[in-house]
A and B are shown apart, each in its own frame.
Chain A
Amino acid sequence: QVQLVQSGAEVKKPGASVKISCKTFGYKFTDNYLFWVRQAPGQGPEWMGLINPDAGVTTSVAKFQGRVTMTRDTSTNTIFMEMRSLRPEDTAVYYCGRVTFDFSSGYIFDYWGQGTLVTVSA
C-alpha cells in the first residue's frame, strides 16, 4: 500500500528556515518522481518543484529558485524540502506527492502526503 507520510506542523519566525520531510512506503522509492506543492489559506495548490529520487536531480519553479532546496535520502526512502528566508506569505500547507507515468494515461499525481502546516509569524 503506497503511503507518503510527512513531518509535523512547524511555526517559524520571519527570516528563519524550515525543513519538511516526506517518507514513502509501499513501492520502490527510485521508480517514481516526487513533487512538492503548497496551498496557502483560501487558495488553490501551487506547484513548487520536482525531484528524481534515483538521480537526485531537482527542478523548481522560478519563484522558489534560490530559496528552496529539495533533497532525498535513498536509505530511508525519504525526500526533504527546505525553505529559507521565510516570510508571512509562506504560511501554507505543504504537500509532497508521487508521479506515476504510463503511456496511455501520461503523468498522474496519484498519491499525496497528508500535508504539513507551516506558519510564519513574528
Chain B
Amino acid sequence: QPVLTQPPSASASLGASVTLTCTLNSGYSSYKVDWYQVTPGKGPRFVMRVGTGGVVGAKGDGIPDRFSVSGSGLHRYLTINNLEEEDESDFYCGSDYGSGNNLLGVFGGGTKLTVL
C-alpha cells in the first residue's frame, strides 16, 4: 500500500508563498494524492487532488485560487500564494487504494503551517 511522508512543519511570512511536500514511497509514482486542510474544531477540508500532471478534477468547495498543486516523480506539492492568517493550519495528504467495499484510505503525518 502507499505510504505518505510529510515534513512536520513549515512556515512563511504573511503575503509570501509556501510549498508543502508529500512524498510517496517507492513504486507508487503513479498515485494521485489529495490535500486536506484541518483547523481546530473543524473536520478536514478537501483542498484538491494532484497527480504528476497537476490537479485532477475539481477543487474543494470554497478553496481560493491562491491554492495550487503540482507533482513530480514521488513528490506531490501544495503551493499557497499570498499567505493569509487564516491559512495557518495543519495540512495532510492522503491517498486511496482498493475499490468499492474494499476501499481504504492512507494519510501522511501532516505538516503544521505557521504564518509569521
Contact = CB atoms under 8 A, between A and B. Distances in A.
Q: Do A and B bind each other?
A: yes
Interface of A: 4, 33, 35, 37, 43-47, 50, 52, 57, 59, 61, 95, 97, 99, 102, 104-115
Contacts of A107: 96, 99, 103
Contacts of A102: 57
B26 interface: no
B71 interface: no
B112 to A, nearest CB: 11
Q: Which of B41, B60, B94, B107 has the most CB of A within 10 A?
A: B107
A112 B107 CA distance: 14
What interface size band does chain B fall in?
A: 20 to 34
Main secondary structure on chain A at its contact with chain B?
strand
Contacts, number: 73
Contact of A110 (B46, B102, B106): B46
Interface of B: 32, 34, 36, 41-46, 49, 56-58, 60, 92, 94, 96, 99, 101-110
Nearest to A104: B57
B101 A114 contact: no
B96 A112 contact: no
Contacts of A4: 43
A114 B57 contact: no
Contact of A108 (B45, B49, B104): B49
